[in-house]
Amino acid sequence: MKINRKAAIIFVLLVVTIIAVFLLRFQRTFFVFSSGDGNKNFSEGINFLVLGRTGKIIGWNFAPDLADSIFLVNYVPKIGVVNLISLPRDLYVNIDGDQFKLNEIIKRNKINEFLNGNLAEMTGIKTDRYVIIDVDFVKQIVDDLGGVEVNLPSSAVDWASGYTMPAGNRHLTGDDVVWLVRNRYSSEGDFFREKNQHAVIKAIFEKYKNLGYFEKAKFVFKALPLLASLEGNINPQEFLTPAFNVNNLRFNDIVFDFSTEILQSSGVVVPVGTSSTSTAYILVPRAGQNNYSELKDFIQSRIEH
């Protein structure tokens, strides 16, 4: 009996995906980030911190341990909303007596301390879970999706080379996305970058959401080695069922900028080498350094729940 080639491919893909799902569900030690709370019911909601770092991708390895993006993901299943909250990377924080920009928490190994204290003070949301994502991971995901469509409200410019990504609807490759989510040459500075990061996240989600069921299965299976390489303590089994049921999910963006009048720029003297100092740009709350009350009120007023 002659077997239809397309049907055979689909069957093999389905079997492989089922095996992969089994491994994810029952062999948690297979994953380096599987030490989180595996008993948590996804239907009850989930919160976790996402730290996006430069990583070791060629051309972007000059600061591999700094966080270029810091997101708090707050999923509210009863209304199908993901509150995506950006925390400014230049925010000057005090964690266990050490003062530094928030983007240094990976480098200084202060993630758990931040989760156990400062995060709830800033957002009103508690979680002990996080994941670190390198830009090479993002690049691969975008390329595996065949690129994504992003509508840029304003053009992005590289001041060094003069390269410009015009405003409007753009089809972006993985390389394009990496450039965009790291670009901050704007009067808004990092706030400009954070808004574009939100746009890219939603574009990736929309592209994935519009895949067929078997296309989703193929994409998830291909992404498994990438997921296994991530650092953090999130248990991936929580996301298996939701990964195939995302059609009614939507995002609620919460991003700070100077128009909120909650944060203000300042400077702090930092050592350079062993014999000199320089002034580093930082952000501090208008209410006073380490006073996060206005940040928390702003976030809580905009969260959908």
Query: Which amino acid, residue 174?
Result: G
Nearest to 234 by CA among 28, 3, 19: 28
Contact 257, 295 (CB under 8 A): no
Domains in the chain (CATH in brackets) are 5-261 (3.40.630.190)
Contact 115, 49 (CB under 8 A): yes
Per-residue pLDDT of the chain (305 residues; tens, 9 = 90+): 555 655 555 555 555 555 555 444 444 333 333 334 443 455 567 899 999 987 655 454 456 678 989 999 999 988 989 999 999 999 999 998 999 999 999 999 999 999 999 999 999 999 999 999 988 889 999 999 999 999 998 888 887 778 889 999 999 999 999 888 888 776 676 788 889 899 999 999 999 999 988 888 888 888 877 877 788 988 666 665 566 667 788 999 999 988 899 999 888 876 666 666 778 889 999 999 899 999 999 999 999 98
Rounded CA separation 129/132 (Å): 11
Rounded CA separation 152/132 (Å): 26
Output helix, strand, coil percentages for the chain, rounded to the nearest 5. 40, 25, 35
pLDDT for the residue 169: 94
